Amino acid sequence: MSNYLKVNDFTTADLKHCVVMDFGTIHASPRFSEQIKLYGTNGSYNIIDGAFENYDRTIRIFFERFSDLATLVEKFKPVDNKLEFSYQPDAVFYADLLDTEIAVRGMYGWELAIKLDMQPFRYQKSVEPLVFTANGTINNPGSVYSEPVIEIEGDGDISLTIGKKTMYLKVTRKAMIDCRQKKQNIYNAEGAIQNTLRKRGGFFELPVGNSGLVFTGAVRKVTIRPNWRYIL
């Protein structure tokens, strides 16, 4: 099979005479909060804030038919596109659309250049949820901390501790904790945002390696979608 790109569940593999010519350049760039020049030392001292930078990536695709090119462009959303690449079929990436450029290639072809603002991580595809009915341990196999989505089934005053962080909630039947950056919210049993369910405590990050999980109160089950991810 030729190189292909999958965008929000639409794949170029279904298009005839369409092939990805260039997947673009991948970056892994830690973010420096400050760069200090110390008196009497050579070079400089970089202070890392623990985050990673987005990066620009341009993907080039050849099409025989312009209508197929237009179909692919229309599958992109302005932000938060879910991408899969044929060279790494077990992974998912996320990106915002920055620009598209179209050029004629000979008498029977078109080239599409898609410029993307890539989020910095590769996410493991098809990860089974972690289910707890008692205290236990979470093992993060990735290469960077993850931001999970956690569902708690129970009632009343509940606490959830993962590693060194604890969140206290008042739950009626069920609550979902979305810990992903830019999406951090608490949802009630009907799926509506209700951040007042959280009484105190910050959102969770799952560090690489093992973390203990402990809950108190009338908890029936804790289900975690861990969102394992990697720098490369």
Ordered structural domains, the chain, with CATH = 5-121 (2.40.30.200), 130-230 (2.60.120.860)
Q: How confident is the model at residue 37 (pLDDT cuts 50, 70, 90)?
A: confident
**pLDDT tens-place string over residues 72-131:** 999 999 999 999 999 999 999 999 999 999 999 988 899 999 999 999 999 999 999 999
% of residues, the chain, pLDDT over 70: 94
Query: What residue type is assigned to position 88 of the chain?
Result: Q
Section 156-176 average pLDDT = 97
Distance CA 155, CA 2 (A): 52
139 touches 165 (CB < 8 A): no
Distance CA 30, CA 9 (A): 30
Q: Which residues touch 171 (CB under 8 Å, ≥6 apart)?
A: 152, 154, 155, 156, 158, 197, 217
Distance CA 114, CA 97 (A): 8
**pLDDT tens-place string over residues 181-223:** 999 999 999 999 999 999 999 999 999 999 999 999 999 999 9
pLDDT at site 41: 72
Q: What pTM did the predictor assign? A: 0.88
Tokens standing for residue 209: 């390696």
Residues paired with 156 in a beta bridge: 171
Q: Looking at per-residue confidence, does 220 or 32 come out higher?
A: 220
pLDDT at site 2: 80
Range with lowest mean pLDDT among 5-14, 37-46, 47-56, 199-208: 37-46
Residue-averaged pLDDT of the chain: 94
Section 64-68 average pLDDT = 96
pLDDT at site 51: 82
pLDDT at site 1: 62
pLDDT at site 45: 67
- Beta strands (DSSP E) in 23-109 are 30-36, 45-52, 55-63, 81-85, 91-104
Q: Is residue 163's pLDDT more than 90?
A: yes
Q: Which residues touch 100 (CB under 8 Å, ≥6 apart)?
A: 73, 76, 112, 113, 114, 115
pLDDT at site 108: 86
128 touches 117 (CB < 8 A): no
pLDDT at site 141: 97
Section 26-37 average pLDDT = 75
Place of tokens 């008042």: 170
pLDDT at site 32: 65
